[in-house]
Chains A and B, each alone.
Chain A
Amino acid sequence: MEPVRVLTAIAAPMIRANIDTDIIIPSREMKSVSKTGLAAGLFAGWRYTAIGGRDPNPEFVLNQPAYAGTRILLGGENFGCGSSREHAVWALHEYGIRAVIAPSFAPIFFGNCVRNGIVPVVLAATYIAMLESFVQADPQTNHITVDLERCEVRAAEVQRYPFKIEAEARDMLLEGLDAIDLTLKSRAEIANFQARDKLLRPWIYLETITQ
């Protein structure tokens, strides 16, 4: 996973509660068993004028020239709610998004971001509204900085908003760590746990099927 440390980039406001993963990538845009080839389907229902079409809807924020090159999204409450589909995060990442700033995230979406190099930043709605005003004045110039090292969002020099993120999630993102590699270092502990647990709860341990 590609590490994210300090990101200074164009941010697009998409401030609405409950932007769900069906909106981020409609199910019909998940066309193959793959983590890639999804960027074209990102926000498809809003981004294009017709279902399944590719004619851009000029009103959609990411289609506006002022927001070309967006890498940060400003969102509303419960961002990423709905389906667990990680395709939503893969599509965002492939499109170029590296951070989403929202007052709250759906838990599965939050976890998916952390596993894929997108920083989910929880910030109060009032601060996000200020960031929105700052960005809207001149999106191509008024960049926002998400500084994961200092756990701080900055806009120009005057606006500085600290945010909290769990150490585990922060380390994963900062170092671009592979969680599976990390966990497999605890292989012996896992085996010991299972040996003890098998005595306590034998019914949990099923026989392997024969096919």
Chain B
Amino acid sequence: MNYLNLWEATVIDILIGKYRNIVVSIALFLLLDASVLMLNFYISFEIADDAAGVNLAGRQRMLSQRMVKSTFDLDYALKQSLDPAPPREELRTTILLFDSTLNAFESGGNATAADGTPIYLEAASTPAAKTAIADANAIWGPYKQRLLNVVDADHTEMAPALAQAILYARDNNLTLLKLMNDLTIELESVASSKATRLRWIQTVGITLAVINFFIILFHFLRQLKESDRKVEQARQETVEILETVNEGLFLLDKEYVISSQYSRALEQMFARENLGGTSLQALLGDLISDKNLSTAKRFIALLFRDDIKSALIGDLNPLKQVEVNISSEQGKFVTKYFCFTFERAYDEGEIANILVTVLDITDRVVLERELALTREQNERQIEVLTSILHSDPRALESFVQQVFEAVERINRILREPSRSSVALQKKATDIFIEVHRIKGESSALGLESFEDMTHEFESVIHTIKEKPEPAGDDFLPLVVRLEKLYKHAESVQAMTVKLGQFSGKRLDKTDGAQPHLGWAELNALCSRIAERQGKKVGLVLQGALPVGLADAHDQLVRDFVLQTLRNAVSHGIERPEQRVPLGKPEAGRVQLSVTQNSASALEISVYDDGAGIDFEALKQKAVATGRFSKAQLDTWSEQKLSALLFEPGVTTSEHGLDAGGGVGLSMVREHVKTQGASVSIRSQKGKGTRFRLRLPVVESASAATVEEALGEALC
């Protein structure tokens, strides 16, 4: 039923559609041909009938003469006393045949054909034929009677009847022959005119058919040309559209093959050519993951199923936002973000293809990412901000500068060629000194983020140093942390600049000057270390910290003060529960004294009332380094032993946030040596330790401000 309807619909479409004219023309052509054929048939039959009529009319001529001949035969038989029956029978047959045929010609009816079969004759219709028949009948009526008298007469009456008939025949025979001849000629003429008419009809019909054919041909060709022109125009328009649109457009068939026509933008987007006829896999295979590609294929397969609503599966599109990486000639990847949309393309109600539109949404995605990145950066900046908010911007800026310089120095150390493991060990030690100084400074400034970072850094160096034969790639974690430290310093620097702008005053360049180290910073440092170790400490400052020292001296003073204060709090001072049973106050006392003995000598000492140096433990550590023997150390005085604290790697404590694992004091000793200064230690078990630094030359030293001159606080 459906097919029938479809067929009907198709026929109707064709009849009323663009093919109507052609269909009508062809129908006319066929109608014309059929008409000519039918007329042909009809006239052919008529001509056949007429031929029979002509034959029978011709036979009438012959019969008229045979009748005469039969009468003479009969007369002869009678005169010669022969049997008259055969000629009489022939005469009877001839009479009947002639009569029935003439009647048939006159009013239509059956006659007997030459082969004896009955044949129907139409009544002659032309006037000439009618006249000939009427004239013949006028002669034939009496003639027939006389002849019948002959054939019906008995033997005695036959001769007179025959004489009468012969007499009548002699008078009318030729007239009757002529009339039959006229009839024949007339019938022949009718038949001939019909044949002529048939030829005309055929000629006209064929001519019309040919004309019709040419009309169809012309019309059809014109229509074909027109439709070709329209197709070409449509193709041209499609090409123009495909050349100019910014989107990648192409059709996909069920085999995931890309159509021959696609937009030029597609080639530009994917940096490929000749995509027509290639598969979706060839287009995307190298650019997206296999998983995404197979999901996309399954999704497209679903779109080809007409029992599934496309709106319902739209969300399943795996290529709504897909990152593709197209390699450039420089070996770099150009990352683009494409949005693929898939639409069904129908052909006569069937899903023939899938129209794929590819949009380059890189700008949008990049913008979104940038926004997210900015948010993230803002959050990070807030974190940095909270970590530095309590710091003096000037001190912070010069600290950051110090970090940059230290990082540069560390990088230089790393870069120096070193092939042996001993050289690598030295690298690690040198780097440790740099990092440890930064750690000390960050601790003094209360910059926990830097403190944590440098501490982690130190731990990594420890790991390297513990290896008997370190290799180059053991330094990988170190360089990663160096980069982190660099980045963090950059963030803090950016933040300090912003803060400067925010407060409306730009910070002056410090030209690498050290951050100012005052009582407040030192007090805070002691408090933090004490708090971390569960101790109580009071810092007392006597004298004034020098300012305006030469750079090298300033660095030495800073290193000495920071290291010895850290040592005092973390190694010297005991925890309250240890102090109280010894009769000491709960809070330990750390005293920093600065005295200027003469115009050119500065003495700085750091004293703590803690446990003093544990010389036994110190000896064990020194032996553990492998550089000293126990026997050798047993001969040393306490004074000499205490100098071991300045040896690298010798410490009475494990590496921790507040201790450098034997590096801090050795770093100070290096400075002391180069600056011509001296350092001494005096320690008494259970009573305390004093570190003293003497600087022989002091340039442009002046007293610190009055408010920092004296201070005491309970931490």
Tell me whether A and B are bound partners: no
